């Protein structure tokens, strides 16, 4: 239990209309505390409902986009599955 508390939480949000996109599979392969795969409309709705994790999460240039967040700060969004940091 103490070991679990020693690392900051890792949250991954993938915004896409294509659940079969390669970046979705890549995100699922990464160990995270929270993994959310949502459409742009769902991300907007979760934001309106008060879930800050989804704020400003969009599909960049219409491409499936992953947001890798650790310790409640997100890295720059990526649109290429190979760019996801493990």
Domain count of the fold of the chain: 1
Q: How many residues does the chain have?
A: 86
The CATH number assigned to the domain holding 64 equals 3.40.30
Residue-by-residue DSSP string for 32-72 = -SEEEEE-HHHHHHHHHTT-GGGTT---GGGS-EEEEEETT
Note the pLDDT tens digit of each residue in 24-80. 999 999 999 999 999 999 999 999 999 999 999 999 999 999 999 998 899 999 999
pTM reported for the whole predicted model: 0.89
Closest CA to 66 of 34, 86, 37, 29: 37
Q: Which domain holds residue 65?
A: 2-83
> What Å distances lie between residue 67 and 8, 20, 33, 47, CA to CA?
16, 17, 14, 15
pLDDT at residue 5, as a whole number: 60
């Amino acid at each position: 239990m103490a070991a679990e508390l020693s690392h900051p939480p890792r949250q991954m949000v993938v915004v896409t209309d294509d659940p079969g996109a390669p970046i979705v599979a890549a995100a699922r392969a990464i160990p995270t505390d929270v993994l959310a795969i949502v459409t742009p409309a769902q991300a907007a709705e979760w934001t309106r409902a008060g879930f800050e994790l989804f704020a400003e999460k969009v599909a960049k240039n219409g491409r499936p986009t992953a947001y890798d967040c650790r310790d409640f700060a997100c890295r720059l969004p990526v649109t290429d599955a190979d760019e996801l940091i493990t």
